[in-house]
A and B are shown apart, each in its own frame.
Chain A
Amino acid sequence: MSRPTASTAFLALLRRDFLLAYRRRAELLQPLVFLLVVTSLFPLGVGPSPQLLASIAAGVIWIAALLATVLSLDSLFRSDYEDGTLEQMVLSGQPLAMIALARIVAHWMVAGLPIVLLSPLLALWMNLPQEGTVVLIKSLAIGTPVLSLLGAIGGALTVSLKRGGQLLSLLVFPLYVPILILATSAVSSAISGLPYSGQLGLMLAGMIAALTLAPFATAAALKLSLS
């Protein structure tokens, strides 16, 4: 039997991941419900003043998105690690970076994309002006893949630990600082009527850089975790 090509393997992995995600729908909903709950706590905590909410909206939604992503990252490689699938993937002879990328893409589709889709609702809650909402959605669309890409490195580094979740957040949050800064500043520029394409452009550059580098770092981390 000949070995399947890398692209066949990539698509097969994606299909498998989507199927697994579909079978565990309830588990996937948890981070999203978490996102809703955390965001709704802010108006309760800081008061319902519309101006105040509008001024902190982008930051609150983005931080809630970071928290929700990190929450879902712990399971990124864990079940595959525990039942030995990960080992078989490494032994399959397919490039491990590509396997990691397939996993990351699947993670973004089931964890990142729903955040982007939910964000208009969150923006509405937080009284974000319309021009800000559009940019917020754009920034999340560009930014959440970066969260998945960088987070995968952390997930791979902690996968062989029994309780890696807290450690994972400690590792990953500092790496998220640039994306958070750029995204929230893009939104606040948009609200004040300033150009924001620079911030989004830098975020896009960051996404491309993460897309090229993070799968390799994830692959190296997975190999270390399995050693």
Chain B
Amino acid sequence: MNPIVLFFHKTGSPPWFYRFGGKLIPWLWMAFVLLTVVGLYLGLFKAPPDYQQGESVRIMYVHVPAAWMSMMIYGLMAMMGFIALVWRIRIMEILMISSAPIGAAFTVIALITGSLWGRPTWGTYWVWDARLTSELVLLFLYFGVIALYNAYDEPRKAARVASLMAIVGAVNLPIIHYSVLWWNTLHQGSSIGAGGSSIHPSMLWPMLIMAIAFKFYYAANLLSRTRLRLLKQDHRKRWVHELLGQEKN
């Protein structure tokens, strides 16, 4: 068999995934901690304060990567959900639903750090700015997927229904984003620009390092959650008994 196809077939098998994930997790955590330490050091001590925002710009080194993650994870959930529904791969169902709380947490982090940054910069914790509003709607979409999953007793059906919801949400998300953008710009002039790519390297690097660190965090957390869900779902199956029997020795 083609090695790539073989890899996917193997990864789809719960016992193999469990073992493979278990080996990967410590490395992912290590990468996360290492990158976070470097990124935070660069961001909090090395990078200069912004000439307009002052020291509060340092919140951005957490805020922007968290906001990126919140959107990326929702996109990934829709993709995983699509794969789960089309090819009926159980691991994908579990990966999809295990991503949801992590993504929701990143969304909350982005919202909270954003409002902490907004207080000194804009003079208010919350404005109905386009970005803030679409991030809030994104949080509601996460809540919807999680609540839908929790409403069903049968985990596989729950994950498939939640997958469909994630896909529907992902189709709508760009529409929501642009309508909100347009709604706000129609009512008041845009008060902030994100800077785009015009950020000085000394400020850009910590941000990028933090973004990569958060991706490792997501991967590590996702694998841990997925392994736990696998054990719970398969607790009557032989591979779990063999595994737990082995670990007792």
Residues of B within 8 A of A19 (CB): none
* CB <8 Å contact, B141 and A174: yes
For window 208-224 of chain A, which residues contact chain B by CB distance below 8 Å? 213, 217, 220-221, 224
Which of the four size classes fits the interface of chain A? 20 to 34
For window 146-188 of chain B, which residues contact chain A by CB distance below 8 Å? 147-148, 151-152, 157, 160-161, 164-165, 167-169, 171-172, 175-176, 178-180, 182-183, 186
Once the chains are docked, how many angstroms separate the CA of A173 from the CA of B144?
Answer: 10
CB < 8 Å neighbour of B179 from A157, A164, A182: A182
Which of the four size classes fits the interface of chain B? 20 to 34
Interface flag for B140 (CB, 8 Å): yes
Residues of A within 8 A of B144 (CB): 167, 170-171, 174
Residues of A within 8 A of B164 (CB): 157, 217, 220-221, 224
Residues of B within 8 A of A174 (CB): 137, 140-141, 144, 169, 172, 176
The number of inter-chain residue pairs (CB within 8 angstroms) is 68
Once the chains are docked, how many angstroms separate the CA of A185 from the CA of B180?
Answer: 11
* CB <8 Å contact, B176 and A177: yes
For window 149-178 of chain A, which residues contact chain B by CB distance below 8 Å? 153, 157-158, 160-161, 164, 167, 170-171, 173-175, 177-178
* CB <8 Å contact, A170 and B147: yes
Once the chains are docked, how many angstroms separate the CA of A218 from the CA of B151?
Answer: 19
* CB <8 Å contact, B140 and A158: no
* CB <8 Å contact, A181 and B180: yes
* CB <8 Å contact, A227 and B148: no
Question: B: which residues have CB within 8 A of A?
Answer: 85, 137, 140-141, 143-144, 147-148, 151-152, 157, 160-161, 164-165, 167-169, 171-172, 175-176, 178-180, 182-183, 186
Given A174-B144, A178-B176, 7 more A-B residue pairs with CB atoms under 8 Å apart are A171-B147, A174-B140, A175-B176, A181-B179, A181-B182, A213-B171, A221-B164
